[in-house]
Amino acid sequence: MASKGLLYLAGAIAAEVVATSALKASEGFTRTGPSIVVAVGYGIAFYLLSLTLKTIPVGLAYAIWSGVGVVLIALIGWLVLKQPLDAAGMVGIGLIVAGVLVIQLFSHSAPH
């Protein structure tokens, strides 16, 4: 069932975003708490991604996982960490979002 795969994929994306967000706070894995969040978050992300692949083709799952993750991390960097995001960065993020939408709306291989 593709909808179950999409739930697993959403969980994988969320776990990966949490883990990646904690990377900066880990200060090169010198801080224990954030380092544990990174390790556990990536472990959960890859486990859920593996469950996703039971119902969603690997190419599509990975494209959605990485694309949505990149967009969310860029937004967290910009909004939370106050990292600059210029017009070219915003256009690039828009293109990633457009790509994920094209996959979801028009691909016959995508889960619906």
- Is residue 112, in this structure, part of any structural domain at all? no
- 57 within 8 A of 63, measured Cβ to Cβ: no
- Is residue 39, in this structure, part of any structural domain at all? yes
Distance CA 41, CA 31 (A): 16
- Is residue 19, in this structure, part of any structural domain at all? yes
Distance CA 72, CA 99 (A): 15
pLDDT for 73-101, tens place per residue?
Answer: 999 999 998 999 999 999 999 999 898 88
- Is residue 111, in this structure, part of any structural domain at all? no
Q: pLDDT class for 68, splitting at 50, 70, 90?
A: very high
Q: How many domains does the chain have?
A: 1
pLDDT for 18-41, tens place per residue?
Answer: 999 999 899 999 999 999 999 999
- Is residue 48, in this structure, part of any structural domain at all? yes
Range of the domain at 42: 2-106
Distance CA 67, CA 74 (A): 11
- Is residue 86, in this structure, part of any structural domain at all? yes
pTM: 0.85
State the pLDDT at residue 111. Answer: 61
